[in-house]
Structure 1
Amino acid sequence: MSVTRLLADIEQLGRDRRSGGYYRPVFSAAELDLRSWFIAEAERRGLDVTTDRNGIIWAWWGEPQAGSVVTGSHLDSVPGGGAFDGPLGVAAALQAVDVLRERGVQPRRSLAVAVFPEEEGSRFGIACLGSRLLTGKLSADRARSLTDQDGNTLADVFAAGGLDPNHLGRDDEALGRIGRFVELHIEQGRGLIDLGRPIAVGSSILGHGRWRVSVQGQGNHAGTTAMSDRSDPVVAAAEMVGAVADLAEQIDDARATVGRFEPFPGGTNVIASEVSFWVDARHPHDETTRALVTRIEEACARIAAARGCTVAVTEESWSPTAHFDAGLTRELTELLPDAPVLRTGAGHDAGILAEFAPSAMLFTRNPSGISHSPEEYAEDADADHSAVALADVLEGMLR
């Protein structure tokens, strides 16, 4: 078995035939099939599999105990995502177990491969939801009340997936088992391409957050309402989206994105009464990200007033800049001496866990330099090499 073959087994799950992208929101049919695939592959390797109260799957080599080494990633995707974002780290972890066994490694401490749910936040709007629940960074009450685009609550969706929503929340016992955590992930940029290297060690994750912007106007008839009589939230929101990009471009190394835009009620001959859109903002310095969002809020308020609308901006999630454990990062660079050290602008469960346990990341080369898209890619040789590199790291951590 290889990483490439493992990924080939799931390449049709949740795939859109027209675009080639993947739609794997948490506890959808596709994501449930992926969870079943992982459990079967883990059990085939003789690992003991459990699912905790927050929906995290743990596959154990050895008895679950404090101070264990943990690796893994996620299986859900953004809408229209690529095949490697998440699943590469899971498949590489399974293959790394195979490599360690082929080497005759006898771990002195337990090893777990973990799969975290709703890392992308594509269904309920909060990224790294599983690790946030595990650590208490997201309260159980807030989580239970979250709704998806179809109006389903997280409580109902998780219950349908076999979990008791009343038991969601911080899990000190599970958290205490994580002695050190390392996550392997496809690189979501061009760092390794430009350096001509197959794998890198992560140094930090840019601080980032998501804000919902709700613009209220006056719903009306598209044919009978004069342009001068309109309070059209779509027009106001469109100007706001342009302002988001303009303001981000004024700050070096800032990123601000609107990737979701929802007019209500959405009729072609109806002036909408409300528009919601979401802003994703990031920068290496948290205070700069916050300052950018403040400027965006001020611009939205001015535009809304000029268009006869009102606006509200609500923070849905925030992750401060995460610096990975210096000692563990140094250990990884010693185990992988040819690997450069790179930061990333993408959020990961490792960034959430870094506050609670020594954590680190490895990145696998993506020759397209594109992610969150069907064009995301990893060469077969690099995918398989990543499992060997992960095995090298785990072997060192398990001594």
Structure 2
Amino acid sequence: MWHDLKPIGRNADTGGYRRFAWTAADADCRTWFKAQAESRGLTYELDRNGNQWAWLGDPEAGDAVVTGSHLDSVPDGGAFDGPLGVVSSFAALDELRRRGVEFTKPLAITNFGDEEGARFGLACVGSRLAAGVLTRDAAHKLTDADGVTLPQAMERAGYDPDAIGADRERLDRIGAFIELHVEQGRALDLSGDAIGIASSIWPHGRWRFDFRGEANHAGTTRLVDRRDPMLSYAETVLAARREAQLAGAVATFGKISVEPNGVNAIPSLVRGWLDSRAADQESLDATVTGVEKAAREYAQAHGIDVSLTRESFTPIVEFDDALRDELARILGTQDSAADLKVPVLGTGAGHDAGILAQSIPTAMLFVRNPTGVSHSPAESAAEDDCLEGVRALADVLEGLACK
């Protein structure tokens, strides 16, 4: 499975993946998923929001156990973020069939669409729509860098954008959702564990800063006469690092747009996107407030107008306590809560499981990442650890769906 999926959407120059929503690479990933489902005799479904489902048992029976992740990527992303969860789900089902277990509940494997938000700027679109967190009207306003709207992209890919929206009936049939994911950090590597259980997802969001100045000639305009928004932006980037360190958070300006974007022209507009995350809401608020204060002070000093727009936000997600404890029990809890064989850890990365947590019981398993690098072609996981993840997921699914 890994060999067949690995080439799809891979850029020959960077070695990274560009599997963006509603593109040819995305379509190829969806074709792969459907083929995996059909080869196992599973019932394949495509829901109203473009999420894919592969069912073992009656989808209408209720109290289903669902596992899976996503197949799309960030720009030049790694091979494991998302796909490891989907591949491991099919492999775990294969393992359970090898064990000869008897399923007492429906089981489904899913691929949620547009999880990374690389094309339209909003993460977890497929699961947000299903959970009703994102409305159809709001989704229809999403636009990519080329001016293509989400409805236009869906239509070109052969999907009906008017059908999207909350899918409460489907979610009500799910008793538990388990997402396996490569760890996006080094906690497991540092602890020496191959597998971990998620406790929570940090609150996080994306903010757009618009710095407006005056376009002018780069060679003839005196420094004292310039209203250069790039200076304010650069100072704000440094402020983000400083404020994050003070609050014990993380803050990143990873995307920038410049107008008129000429080598010999002073910009008239610099637009930068801030991604910030923290273990608690207070620390996140302190970070973003500090960055905004610095941006306004720098802008005023340079004669620049600045505005701030919050484009997305997800509060802290605490995974279902009972389900998390059940996973820990299945995977080998000792008598004392302090003697867990599988560590429990928080994460600063967002996931579909985090979106679904407000609607259904959810939990996550992490597979060790030896370098901690993610959203990069250098992202990796050892084969032995990946196989351990498959066995752990199979154990969990057996414990939840085969009682």
TM-score, normalised to structure 2's length? Answer: 0.95
Query: Which structure 2 residue ranges, 5 or more long, are not aligned?
Result: 333-340
> For residues 171 and 97 of structure 1, what CA distance do their matches in structure 2 show?
25
Question: Do the aligned residues in 1 keep the contact of 2:259 with 2:268 (CA within 8 Å)?
Answer: yes
- The secondary structure found in structure 1 opposite 2:255 is strand
Matched, 1:303 2:298: yes
Matched, 1:159 2:155: yes
2:9 to 14, 21, 34: 14
Give the Å deviation of 1:320: 0.7
Matched, 1:117 2:113: yes
Give the Å deviation of 1:159: 1.6
1:27 to 18, 22, 32: 22
Give the Å deviation of 1:144: 0.8
Partner of 2:130: 134
Q: Deviations over 1:282-323 (max 9, x none)?
A: 111113212321221121111111111111111111111111
Question: Do the aligned residues in 1 keep the contact of 2:247 with 2:286 (CA within 8 Å)?
Answer: no
- The secondary structure found in structure 2 opposite 1:250 is helix
> Runs of 4 or more off by more than 6 Å in structure 1?
none
1:206 to 202, 218, 221: 202
Partner of 1:190: 186
> For residues 219 and 386 of structure 1, what CA distance do their matches in structure 2 show?
54
Give the aligned length.
393
More displaced stretch, 16-25 vs 89-98: 16-25
Give the Å deviation of 1:259: 0.7
1:270 to 265, 268, 278: 265
1:382 to 381, 385, 392: 385
Matched, 1:48 2:35: no
1:393 to 388, 393, 396: 396
Matched, 1:332 2:327: yes
Q: Look up the equivalent residue of 1:284 and give its one-letter code.
A: A
> For residues 336 and 161 of structure 1, what CA distance do their matches in structure 2 show?
41
Matched, 1:261 2:264: no
Give the Å deviation of 1:133: 0.9
Partner of 1:357: 360
TM-score, normalised to structure 1's length? Answer: 0.96
- Aligned-pair identity in percent equals 50
> For residues 173 and 221 of structure 2, what CA distance do their matches in structure 1 show?
63
> For residues 220 and 193 of structure 1, what CA distance do their matches in structure 2 show?
51
Partner of 2:242: 246
> For residues 11 and 73 of structure 1, what CA distance do their matches in structure 2 show?
16
More displaced stretch, 374-383 vs 90-99: 374-383
1:171 to 167, 171, 193: 167
Q: Deviations over 1:226-252 (max 9, x none)?
A: 221111111221111111111111112
Question: Do the aligned residues in 1 keep the contact of 2:179 with 2:363 (CA within 8 Å)?
Answer: yes
> For residues 276 and 248 of structure 1, what CA distance do their matches in structure 2 show?
20
Superposition RMSD in Å: 1.2
Give the Å deviation of 1:106: 2.2
Partner of 1:3: none
Question: Do the aligned residues in 1 keep the contact of 2:206 with 2:275 (CA within 8 Å)?
Answer: yes
Give the Å deviation of 1:26: 1.2
Give the Å deviation of 1:92: 0.2
Question: Do the aligned residues in 1 keep the contact of 2:247 with 2:284 (CA within 8 Å)?
Answer: no
> For residues 280 and 193 of structure 2, what CA distance do their matches in structure 1 show?
27
Query: Which structure 1 residue ranges, 5 or more long, are not aligned?
Result: 1-5
Give the Å deviation of 1:19: 2.0
Q: Deviations over 1:97-130 (max 9, x none)?
A: 1111111222111111111111111111111111
> For residues 250 and 172 of structure 2, what CA distance do their matches in structure 1 show?
35
> For residues 273 and 330 of structure 2, what CA distance do their matches in structure 1 show?
41
> For residues 77 and 396 of structure 2, what CA distance do their matches in structure 1 show?
28
Partner of 1:283: 278
> For residues 84 and 40 of structure 2, what CA distance do their matches in structure 1 show?
18
Give the Å deviation of 1:162: 2.1
Matched, 1:103 2:103: no
Q: Deviations over 1:49-74 (max 9, x none)?
A: 11111111111111212321111000
More displaced stretch, 308-317 vs 159-168: 159-168
Matched, 1:348 2:345: no
> For residues 333 and 365 of structure 1, what CA distance do their matches in structure 2 show?
17
1:69 to 65, 71, 74: 65
Q: Deviations over 1:64-100 (max 9, x none)?
A: 1232111100011111111000000000001111111
Give the Å deviation of 1:175: 1.6
More displaced stretch, 192-201 vs 86-95: 192-201
Give the Å deviation of 1:366: 1.1
Give the Å deviation of 1:364: 0.5
More displaced stretch, 203-212 vs 291-300: 291-300
Q: Deviations over 1:336-382 (max 9, x none)?
A: 11321111111111111111111000001111221111111111121
> For residues 287 and 365 of structure 2, what CA distance do their matches in structure 1 show?
30
